[in-house]
A = this chain, B = another copy of it.
Amino acid sequence: MANQLTILGCGSAKPTRTTSPSAQVVELCDKQFLIDCGEGTQLNMAHMGLRTPRLDHIFISHLHGDHCFGLIGMLSTWGMLGRTRSITIHAQPDMERLMRPWLDYFCQGMTYEVRFESIHPHRHEVIYEDRTLTVTSLPLRHRVPCCGFLFEEKERLPHIRKELIEAYAIPLAAIPAIKEGAGFTTDDGRYIPHEELTYPARPPYRYAYCSDTAYSERLIPWITDIDCLYHEATFTDEFASRCKDTLHSTARQAATIADRAHVGKLIIGHFSSRIADPEILLAEAREVFPNTLLAQDCTTFIL
């Protein structure tokens, strides 16, 4: 399955006619990860017919309501549907303290386990790792402790050139060693080096979610050269002073970060309800970083 990003909510705190609070599903390495879970996350999933059979981890950037009020409803619905696989919520410790009494009250007899893993939003650290990828916390600059998330595929082993398997009569049992770096000696004693037998896998994909945050150059070294950056762009230039007061970013600031970090592409989101037309945000961002895209509720980007 292709790596992809489904935006479930690209608005900020106050919902509008077209934008719900923050939530998105990232699909990487055949797994699904939910980032933030504003009110209506499960409603927009239902609206899109989005299925999440491979979603076992949720990452909450910070404890403002527009990033987590949708959790209780979604967890409750999964219980009613008879989910059995546990779910892990990666969030600051207060999240568990607040959620437990609600889970105990509203979700009695749950068929699955809800686990909480503590995030320390001031640290850069790997908070999730499996065979194929890691997730690292990225400290952000906001009114409350907040972190973004860097998703990085691990280096993949090179692919073996299929036509050479037959040409050199390479037995299947020898292939794992070749992929790991070995060469191969044919029956007639000829040595074929590893480099000739293989070609590199595509480079590991890297995606970062940075919301909510004021303009922060400290972020740049952590996201340099990544493939795709989702960065909040709450305001247009017109609202620069409000942006400063609330520790959010303008579209132009998001684009400046993208430009200085040489990312592959930028997706902007977390639009203020004061912005009547998000196309203005897009135009302001593209003046600095042309490869900018506009998030939109209930749409999917191929990564």
Contacts and interface: CB of A to CB of B under 8 A. Distances in A.
Interface of A: 13-17, 20-21, 39-40, 42-43, 46-47, 49, 63-66, 69-70, 72-73, 76-77, 80-81, 94, 98, 101-102, 105-107
Contacts of A105: 63, 94, 98
A73 B69 contact: yes
B65 A43 contact: no
A39 B98 contact: no
B80 A17 contact: no
Contacts of A101: 98, 101
A80 B80 CA distance: 33
**How many copies of this protein are present in the complex?**
2
A46 B98 contact: no
Contacts of A40: 39-40, 43
Given A14-B80, A72-B65, A72-B69, A42 B39 contact: yes
Contacts of A66: 73
Please provide the 10 A-B residue pairs with the shortest distance between their CB atoms, ordered closest to farther: A39-B73, A15-B46, A65-B106, A69-B73, A65-B76, A40-B43, A15-B43, A40-B40, A16-B46, A17-B47
A43 B20 contact: yes
Contact of A102 (B39, B43, B98): B98
Contact of A43 (B39, B64, B72): B39
Given A43-B39, A46-B16, A101-B101, A65 B69 contact: no
A49 B17 CA distance: 7
B73 A106 contact: no
Contacts of A80: 13-14
A228 to B, nearest CB: 27
Contacts of A72: 65, 69
Contacts of A15: 42-43, 46-47, 77
